[in-house]
Amino acid sequence: MDDLSALTAAIEVGDRTTAVALARAAVESGVDTREVLGAMTGAMEVVGKRFQCNEIYVPEMLIAARAMKESMAVLEPVLVKAGIRPEHTAVIGTIKGDLHDIGKNLVAMMWKGANIGVVDLGTDVSPEQFVAAAQEHHADIVGVSALLTTTMVGMKDVVVALREADLSGIKVVIGGAPVTREFADQIGADGFATDAGGAVEAVKHALAS
């Protein structure tokens, strides 16, 4: 197994120590930065798919995402130096009134793992805050998460607020256990995912639409 395959494998199983060491070794030995990045994002792609197939669950995903995040920290200065930037920027948060953020945190990590720049607005985020952050960070994706059916209905206000602020080019991707395609269509969201495993696919699909 070459070092990049080993890096991919270490991220997939959440072995952060090995993953960071291999990322550092790859950077120091001058391996092409894009190849290192590809090895890392490839790992998270596999993790997301395995999660969707119920082969792994939230804990495995969390530790894989942490290994990814820490390996990425090694690579980031090199990416900046090489002028390689994420192609897209997302702002993400839980909907107003909803304080449950495990899913949102996982999605943020998955998106970062897919080389999307992510600005995490935290929990209990109002439509106005989503709009302001999207403008400030020139986001092309807004991610809104809800765990409760009580709060989920407020997602529509985010879509409306973005449209009213003339930000209709921004793709809105909603997510959370109670979210359905029917609801996403009803409020005019561009994509949806019921779990973090489907979040990368949802955003890619929304960006392509």
Q: Which is nearer to other proteins, 8 or 151 (CB)?
A: 151
Contacts of 40 (CB under 8 A, 6+ apart): 7, 8, 11, 23, 68, 71, 72, 75, 113
Contact assessment for residue 90 and residue 143, using Cβ atoms and an 8 Å cutoff: yes
User: Three-state DSSP class for 204?
Assistant: helix
Residue 41 C-beta: closest distance to other proteins, Å: 21
58 belongs to the binding site for other proteins (CB under 8 A)? yes
Return d(Cα 5, Cα 39) in angstroms, integer.
7
Contact assessment for residue 193 and residue 119, using Cβ atoms and an 8 Å cutoff: no
Part of the chain binding other proteins (CB under 8 A), chosen from 1-9, 30-38, 79-87, 150-158: 150-158
Centroid of chain to Cα 33: 21
The only residue of 128, 168, 181, 186 in contact with other proteins, by rule CB under 8 A:
186
69 belongs to the binding site for other proteins (CB under 8 A)? no
The only residue of 30, 59, 83, 169 in contact with other proteins, by rule CB under 8 A:
59
Residue 60 C-beta: closest distance to other proteins, Å: 8
**How crowded is residue 73: how many other Cβ atoms within 10 Å of its Cβ?**
11
Residue 178 C-beta: closest distance to other proteins, Å: 4
Residue 19 C-beta: closest distance to other proteins, Å: 12
73 belongs to the binding site for other proteins (CB under 8 A)? no
Q: Which is nearer to other proteins, 37 or 106 (CB)?
A: 106
147 belongs to the binding site for other proteins (CB under 8 A)? yes
Q: Which is nearer to other proteins, 88 or 112 (CB)?
A: 112
- How far, in Å, are 12, 77, 80, 160 from residue 27 at the CA level? 19, 10, 13, 45
Contacts of 199 (CB under 8 A, 6+ apart): 48, 106, 107, 110, 111, 143, 173, 175, 193
The only residue of 66, 137, 163, 205 in contact with other proteins, by rule CB under 8 A:
66
**How crowded is residue 77: how many other Cβ atoms within 10 Å of its Cβ?**
10
Contacting positions for other proteins (CB under 8 A): 14, 16-17, 58-60, 62-63, 66, 97-102, 105, 123-124, 147-153, 177-178, 180, 183, 186-187
